[in-house]
Amino acid sequence: MEIIEQELLQLKKSFVIQNDKIRKEIKEGTKLINLCKEKILEIERNIKENSNNGFENNTVKPIIIGQIVNKNIEIEEQIFKGEQKVLKETKIITENTSIKSSIKSCKMNIKNIFSSDSNDVQMLNVYEKIPFKNIDGGVWRQGWEITYDKSKVSSEPTLYVFVVPHSHQDPGWLETFEEYYDNKVDSILSSLSDFIVNNDDMRFIYAEMSFLERYWNKKNSTEREKIKKLVKDGNIEIVTGGWVMTDEANSHYFAQIMELFEGHEFLKNQFDDYKPKNHWSIDPFGLSPTMAYILKKSNLTNMVIQRVHYEVKKYLAERKELEFNWRQLWDNGEGKTDIFTSMFPFFSYDVPHTCGPDPAVCCQFDFLRILKYGCDWKINPVRIISKNIQERARLLVDQYRKKSQLFKHNVLLIPLGDDFRYENKEEISIQYDNYKKLFDYINSPEGFKEFNMKIRFGTLKDYFDAVNKKFEEEKPATLSGDFFTYADHDDHYWSGYYTSRPFYKRLDRLLQHYLRGADLIYSTSVMSYSKNTNILENYKKKVNYSMLVEARRYMSLFQHHDGVTGTAKSFVVTDYAEKMLKGIENCFSIIQNSLEFFLKINTNDAKIVYENNDSKNDHVVKLTVNEYMESSDTLPSSYVISQSTSLVVYNPLSREINEVICVKIDNYEMRIQDINEEDQEIRPNIEVWNKQFTFTHHSNNQNIKRNYYELCFKASIGPLGTNVYNLIKKRLPKESFCKIKGSDINVKNIDISGSYLKDEDGNDIFDIDRVNKNSEQRVDLKFDSISISINDKTGFLSHINDEVVEVSFSKYGVRSPIPSKPGGEVVSGAYLFLPDGPSTKLSSNENSYIILDGKLKKTVFVKGNEQTQLFHKTEIIESKLYVSITNDIGIMDLFDFEMAMEVNSKINSEDIFYTDLNGYQIIKRKRFDGKIPLQGNFYPMPGVMYIEETKNSGKRLSLIGNQPLGCSSLSSGKMEVILDRRLTHDDSRGLASGVLDNVKTRSSFRIILEEMEKDDTSNRSPTGFLSKIAQLTYQQMHYQPITLFSNTLLNINENILRSFSPLKESLPCDYHIVAMRTETEKCDYEKKENGVVLYNSKNSLGLILQRYAFDCSLSHKNTQSDDKCIESEGKVDLKRKMNLESGKIYNSSLTMMYSEEKEEVRQVKLTPMEISTFKIVL
């Protein structure tokens, strides 16, 4: 080794002395040594990236720029960014021995955010401590008997009480959004605004901008100005300001940001300078720190939350820690992510459970119940009169005092409201008049002497202004973690809604994908044409911006906590779905029209050639997105192309991608022009029809059959770029046709000699064979990048890279009612998961399978369990490191049935597993057998879960999904995901129905197996991070290329295509464009076209950037991945990276309520996990 080092030193000297000579001996790329850092980053994509093995300083990023090789020594020259020096490293390479080593996936150092949590309250630790005994606490059944010394009341600090009127309004649940508005909301907002104008001491808080915008649309300017003045004067406070009160379990962080953005943009345009500061989230069924971070980045300062496990509430209340600074799991201790949070202590947000611990007493102060409803505790409210005012005040004040014992200060928040309250003047008056009398008495000299209390109507602003003063000296506790899984009493865990109505959960993600793509393309167009006013005006005439606004709002509406949760009435779910489908179609229109316009204005330079000159449309390019849905409850499909055309493929990612694109064709004699034959592949169509495999496509009408094939090809597309591929009628060679292999069982069930598989001369189009089993009765499929084995009997996955990874399916039933057990009368429904015990395996004895063995893809199709109509697909793709899994299921004929997919391995994960929160961050979970029932060990999986060895080295197995579902790890080495649920019962949570509107549903996953070598620090951490490969795989799965086809062949210059991108080059792969969204101009609600408000875009947009944090302890044995992207060191020169000649970039808050148009931003520097918005003014 010393000899090698001496030789290396000599070579280094030679490099300086004989520069020209050495350059001839090393690979191309060495000539860029002396260029700037950015140029080096540019060439790195084109040369083989080496690991940082042997480098202790992970902040240093080595780049291979050349090699000198002889039989024994390979010398790699590397450049350290940020330093101008060259290092040398040697490797011993023997002639006869191939030494394989795992290649590190990245070089990011995240140790400072991977440290063990040191906050005052860490929720995983809290779960370790809580016994979960569900002890009866008396009137506060889930707590204890609260007492206080009445003799000391007068000597204690005065108690300040803010009674906060509110009306919780669901934008869809038992009625549709429009029905709720027409039947309730319109009257609520009109009645309240009229009342408050005449009663200046009345207050009100309001959260749902979706309803407020509809009110704005329906009312005249007088009514609008009335509310604006009440908001300006502080009588009404807009809280959160989001489009809806979003779910926090199933929602994706992109959608959470977008729905908040939509609400804030409406406020910014219609309420002048009003900016919400306080968050109100009282009904979502569990809370996520992702929402807290989004609010913090949007410049909100305080939060109110409600639905938290009753045992957790009790634990925090005992320690007076119901108010805390909620800190992100990955915060390095600086507290930059802290947001002050106040948690309701009791069961619900209604009046009986908010004034104090005794609901029987509190209900008597919900004065609407004098007119209707009454109280469940058999003691109804009475009007306040002079004869009873002292007794009533004492009763109420006693509850306030008891509630105040749970907090560290002398300020108390008392919500006063419920669902759709304050519906008319009578209801408002009866609450106001009776409370006013109580306030006057309590605040009077006589009352103050007895109660030492000051009380009035207030808003959240009033409350938090007072509370924050109390915490100026003694800071509140810091808390990290989340509040899942929610239970409101007994063993009623709300883990069912993680999966309920999974078809529509997937539809939500599909809309998000196309909305993000449409926003990117629209913003790119505005940027591109901003220098030419005429072109920009013509573009805005062709592309209807109002359709984009509508799509944003439909997506935002579904984030409501009875939307994406799947917990609304069936007809409301259908209404949501129809809105989402309309939103997708709007996005298609934006994408199609934008790209058509781009091609049109570049006709002269691009020299577009039309194949059919005699066509009526020979001067008009028409593009169609190659995906459609026949209805809002059918699976997406793609068109079958029957003639020569051009495929336009858009890359929605900010880095170059290399993907296999597939399109359906009705003629196997077709290919992509000017692409190597080895990079193309023809595959037959495989379906299940009438319980049998078929190569023929059957439509819903049994009499209509159609043959089609699949043409797949490799595509390389630049960042946010577009490529055109011409599809022509010309046959590929035999080598480009995949091979068909079938199981013994399968051959009995399919006619594999049908005419569909033969050409005009009667010859086989595809080679057909039986599967080849190895000695272990496995069927092996492999590429250089990955290998898998399938079980020869079931066709399901059994191994990845020779490691056991087994896929199977199971079912849960529904427990029978147990009246003798507390809460036992309730069974599974839309919200609750209450199984009849552990799952049981679904039979796979009758499985049959077909394998398509190609050079780009290798796919196993399984016709599985018949009662669930399982059609299962396992696939690997050349140069990819993941295994793709797809399940089509239909449980429409079953009852009280829940279907799960299980992934089993030999990984010793013990009782630890990890899940994501909103697709944004990872949280550590622990299975608490015995202490928490099975259903309480299920958690939301919006996108990812993984297990890994609990020791420092071993393996990690990640399961990445493209739809939100419920998941768990119920034994070591096992992951489980609930795929669908069909339930006949209501679970007593207000829906008054089961879940019986199931449709055929598709779920998709990618499985990644990685090598792991960690230290104790990361094992102790309550969070986790995906590897670079897993993070980018997740990103690619959610934001796949968008393929369109043209009505004619195009011949367009590549330089023209390359110009249609806001980026000159890829962003580093640790940077992600969450969204690029054009701002909306203030609209005039008095000017409508056919009764519809028209929206126009500004010449400014928001660029939302995120920096990923990669876990670099993960590595891969196989190194043939096509991923050559590189990481940043935190800094990105946006001005240089973007096609932005005249525009300016400024800092902004996340939703652009705040922007600093003073100092222009050129270089962006984000810390790992940070999300920030930058305003681009054109």
- Stretch(es) of the chain classified as CATH 1.20.1270.50: 501-601
Residue pair 58/109 in contact (Cβ under 8 Å)? The answer is yes
Q: What is the pLDDT of residues 324-371, one digit of tens each?
A: 999 999 998 889 999 999 999 999 999 999 999 999 999 999 999 999
* Residue the block writes with tokens 């991108």: 1061
Q: Tell me what pLDDT residue 617 has.
A: 47
- Stretch(es) of the chain classified as CATH 2.70.98.30: 897-1038
Q: What is the pLDDT of residues 874-904, one digit of tens each?
A: 999 999 999 999 999 999 999 999 999 999 9
Residue pair 259/244 in contact (Cβ under 8 Å)? The answer is yes
Verify whether residue 744 is a known catalytic residue. Answer: no
Q: Which residues contact 594 (CB under 8 A, 6 or more apart)?
A: 521, 522, 524, 525, 539, 543
Please report, for residues 300, 303, 1018, the alpha-carbon distance to residue 326 in angstroms, rounded to integers and kept in the order given. 13, 9, 21
Whole-number average pLDDT of the chain = 88
**Which residues are 650's β-sheet partners?**
722, 1042
Residue 67 has pLDDT above 50, yes or no: no
Please report, for residues 573, 983, 985, 989, 1178, the alpha-carbon distance to residue 992 in angstroms, rounded to integers and kept in the order given. 15, 12, 8, 7, 52
Q: How far apart are CA 546 and CA 1099, in angstroms?
A: 15
Which homologous superfamily does the CATH classification assign to the domain defined by 501-601?
A: Glycoside hydrolase family 38, central domain (1.20.1270.50)
Work out the pLDDT band at 763, boundaries 50, 70, 90.
confident
Residue 117 has pLDDT above 80, yes or no: no
Q: Tell me what pLDDT residue 183 has.
A: 98
How many CB atoms sit inside 10 A of residue 222's CB? 7
* Residue the block writes with tokens 């007076």: 320
Q: Which residues contact 1094 (CB under 8 A, 6 or more apart)?
A: 546, 1083, 1087, 1088
Work out the pLDDT band at 671, boundaries 50, 70, 90.
very high
Q: Which of 283, 418, 491, 1111 is catalytic?
A: 283
* pLDDT (average), residues 288-308: 99
Q: What is the pLDDT of residues 145-184, one digit of tens each?
A: 999 999 999 999 999 999 999 999 999 999 999 999 999 9
Q: Tell me what pLDDT residue 744 has.
A: 58
Question: Which fold is adopted by the domain 144-476?
Answer: 7-stranded beta/alpha barrel (3.20.110)
Q: Tell me what pLDDT residue 69 has.
A: 32
Residue pair 596/623 in contact (Cβ under 8 Å)? The answer is yes
**Which residues are 902's β-sheet partners?**
808, 976
Least confident interval from 459-473, 866-880, 1056-1070, 1164-1178: 1056-1070
Residue 822 has pLDDT above 70, yes or no: yes
Q: What is the pLDDT of residues 568-599, one digit of tens each?
A: 999 999 999 999 999 999 999 999 999 999 98
Q: How far apart are CA 1072 and CA 336, in angstroms?
A: 21
- Name the residue among 492, 345, 348, 323 with its Cα closest to residue 417: 348
Which three-class secondary structure state does DSSP give residue 636? coil
Q: What is the pLDDT of residues 944-988, one digit of tens each?
A: 999 999 887 899 999 999 999 999 999 999 999 999 999 999 999
The residue among 62 and 373 whose pLDDT is bigger is: 373
Q: Tell me what pLDDT residue 104 has.
A: 58
Q: Tell me what pLDDT residue 797 has.
A: 98
Q: How far apart are CA 122 and CA 1023, in angstroms?
A: 11
* pLDDT (average), residues 382-408: 98
Q: Tell me what pLDDT residue 776 has.
A: 74
Residue 1145 has pLDDT above 60, yes or no: yes
Work out the pLDDT band at 68, boundaries 50, 70, 90.
very low
Q: Tell me what pLDDT residue 800 has.
A: 98
Q: What is the pLDDT of residues 235-246, one digit of tens each?
A: 999 999 999 999
* pLDDT (average), residues 921-929: 98
Share of the chain above pLDDT 70, in %: 86
Kindly report the pTM of this predicted structure: 0.90
Looking at residue 23, the DSSP 8-state letter turns out to be: H
**Which residues are 1013's β-sheet partners?**
953
Residue 1160 has pLDDT above 60, yes or no: yes
- Name the residue among 464, 461, 460 with its Cα closest to residue 476: 464
Q: How far apart are CA 164 and CA 290, in angstroms?
A: 26
Q: How far apart are CA 453 and CA 450, in angstroms?
A: 9
| Tokens representing residue 1010 in the block | 């990685």
Residue 1010 has pLDDT above 70, yes or no: yes
| Tokens representing residue 877 in the block | 């793709």
| Tokens representing residue 94 in the block | 């023997």
* Diameter over CA atoms, the chain: 107
DSSP labels for 22-79? Answer: HHHHS-TTGGGTTS-HHHHHHHHTTSPPPP-TT-S-TT----EEEEEE-SSEEEEEEE
* pLDDT (average), residues 486-512: 99
- Name the residue among 482, 494, 322, 324 with its Cα closest to residue 1023: 482
Least confident interval from 321-325, 646-650, 1154-1158: 1154-1158
Which homologous superfamily does the CATH classification assign to the domain defined by 897-1038?
A: Golgi alpha-mannosidase II; domain 4 (2.70.98.30)
Q: Tell me what pLDDT residue 755 has.
A: 55
Q: Tell me what pLDDT residue 1130 has.
A: 87
1087-1120 in b/e burial notation, b at 16+ Cβ within 10 A?
eeeeeebebebebbbbbbbbbbbbbbbbbbebbe
- Stretch(es) of the chain classified as CATH 3.20.110.10: 144-476
Q: What is the pLDDT of residues 550-575, one digit of tens each?
A: 999 999 999 999 999 999 999 999 99
